[in-house]
Amino acid sequence: MRVAGIDEAGKGPVIGPMCIGGVLTEKEKLSSLKNLGVTDSKKLTPKKREHLAHQIRKYAQKVYILEISPGQIDELRKVMTMNQIMVLGFSRVLEELQPDMAYVDAADVNATRFGEKLKAQYSKKYPEKARSLAIISEHRADAVYPVVSAASIVAKVRRDELIKELKNKIGIDFGSGYPSDPKTRLFLKNWTREHGALPDFVRHSWKTAENVLK
């Protein structure tokens, strides 16, 4: 049985892309992932995450990371909610992995509803496979199921890489990219003051960005 885990990194930041990670493995190899010591990526140091991401690829049948740019998020938010964007993104990862069973970290206050919407979206492209696909959608699944922890780790490592590349490219350390980070907010204010607009790597549809422009 092919089992997949899916989780995202970067849903909330005002700067940078969102990465949705998917890890596919055989059911009998799930214990190997657990033995690696995978857990919720937020509980691990960057160095430990990078090491584990490398190890995960050795045990996984397939690893897929969907990158959704700030511009894509802004465009989608004109016609749908962030929760709907998450359903679309997770479904896209499912399409790549095509598992027999999937564990997902629910991106909705109602975990069951998220799983149902995800299955419905997936069935639009693969109706036959969707019928037999079991989706376990839970909050904090990345702390419970090793295959979701693995997905959480590869997604976080990839987003961190992209953020590092971005900082190197512009030559400015803008902090974590999250709205709550004073360093990030100061960067947005300074950039807008200097350039008269926000850069394309910022999510313009975020309240933080709108407030800076005001």
Query: For 113-127, what is each residue's pLDDT tens digit?
Result: 999 999 999 999 999
Same domain, 64 and 39: yes
Q: In whole angstroms, what is the distance from residue 154 CA to residue 173 CA?
A: 23
Same domain, 197 and 114: no
Domain that holds residue 207: 170-213
Mean pLDDT of 153-182: 97
**pTM for this structure?**
0.95
Same domain, 11 and 94: yes
145, 121 in Cβ contact below 8 A?
A: no
- Top pLDDT among 1 and 31 is at 1
The whole-number pLDDT of residue 33 equals 87
Q: Report the CATH number that the domain containing residue 52 is assigned in CATH.
A: 3.30.420.10
